[in-house]
Amino acid sequence: MSHFPGNSQLSRGGEELEKNQIEFRNVSFRYHDEAPWVLRDVSFKIDADEWVAIIGHNGSGKSTIAKLMNGLLFPQEGEILVSGQKVEPDTIWDVRKQVGMVFQNPDNQFVGTTVRDDVAFGMENHGMPRELMVERIRESLQAVSMTDYERQEPHRLSGGQKQRVAIASVLAVSPKYIILDEATAMLDPKGRKEIMQTIRDVQGARNLSLITITHDLQEVTQADRVIVMNNGEVWMEGTPRDIFSEKDRLIDIGLDTPFISKLADELMNAGLTISREPLNHQELLEELWTLHSTK
């Protein structure tokens, strides 16, 4: 074996990689024996540093995937690896230290009697030293603009405030993998942008993987990669540009394309040549500018 140093390095590289990955291997799942399969032969990998968006129609299996990732559920077939470790009943405590999640309904995850306790709770479980905890509580509540509500009971908050606190709790821990299950659906437009930016900053600074489950197509355009679910199966995986080039096929499976992509289509129908699928305002403006100045 020592004759092939390149190879052994490669395999070590592979292991390194695996250490920072979440992998689904041929996962099938149903909620009980008689129930229909809600995930069928699902396989994918999510790398460190990556922002992956999971999209799909209602009931396509997105939240189920999230719950399998941190061992709230276990698959009947296939396996799930988190940092190379198989998710099983005896590994879930390890797994949950690495995988932090914000649920679709934040009411389902509040444990503390005050906002402050709630943010502290996750960190206590990680055995974080007190001074660091105090600092982190302050930082993360500030990051979601909820400092004034530290002593409030979580269930007495407005819908969007609850989401902010739930996000603060996961930011405070900043686990290796962060899953946000429609965690910003009830924020005001500016709040949503600001909080997504904060999350991305944290992700960048601490090298985390970010997995967002969302129906917000504009948010999806900013992800590195997209997994599209349809009826319990992976329908497509690719960059946002690949995905949104599918157009009508997306509508067929309960999805849609963002405004900017619709406008680009209509501009082409009206006789303009748009050279590539635009993902944001800037890209379409540049195309228009070129056409305008070369007329």
Nearer to Mg ion, 7 or 158 (CB): 158
Smaller CB distance to other proteins: residue 3 or 295? 295
* Nearest in space to 29 (alpha carbons), one of 61, 70, 72: 61
Distance, in Å, from the CA atom of 162 to the CA atom of 105, rounded to the nearest integer, reads 9
Shortest Cβ 271–Mg ion spacing (Å): 41
The residues of the shown chain that bind other proteins, judged by CB under 8 A, are 31, 56-59, 62-63, 104-105, 107, 151-152, 156-161, 164, 182, 185-192, 215, 217-218, 251, 254-256, 259-260, 262-263, 266-267, 269-272, 281, 284-285, 288-289, 291-292, 295
Q: Which of residues 23-42 bind ligand ATP (CB under 6 A)?
A: 31, 35, 38
CA atoms within 13 Å, Cβ hemisphere of 249:
10
**The one among 24, 27, 40, 64 contacting ligand ATP by CB under 6 A:** 64
CA proximity to 213, closest of 44, 85, 22, 58:
58
Q: What b/e readout covers 164-190, taking b as 16+ CB neighbours within 10 angstroms? A: bbbbbbbbbbbbbbbbbbbbbbbbeee
Question: Whose Cβ is closer to other proteins: residue 269's or residue 275's?
Answer: 269
Looking at the Cβ atoms of 64 and 174, the one nearer to ligand ATP is 64
Spatial contact of 112 and 141, defined as CB atoms under 8 Å apart: no
Contacts with 224 (C-beta within 8 Å, 6 or more apart), sequence order: 50, 51, 52, 239
The answer to whether 61 contacts ligand ATP (rule: CB under 6 A) is yes
Q: CA angle, 192 as apex, 187 and 194 as ends, to 5°? A: 135
List of residues contacting Mg ion (CB under 5 A): 63, 158-159
Q: Is 19 or 156 the residue whose CB approaches ligand ATP more closely?
A: 156
Give residues in contact with ligand ATP (CB under 6 A).
31, 35, 38, 56, 58-64, 104, 156-161, 186
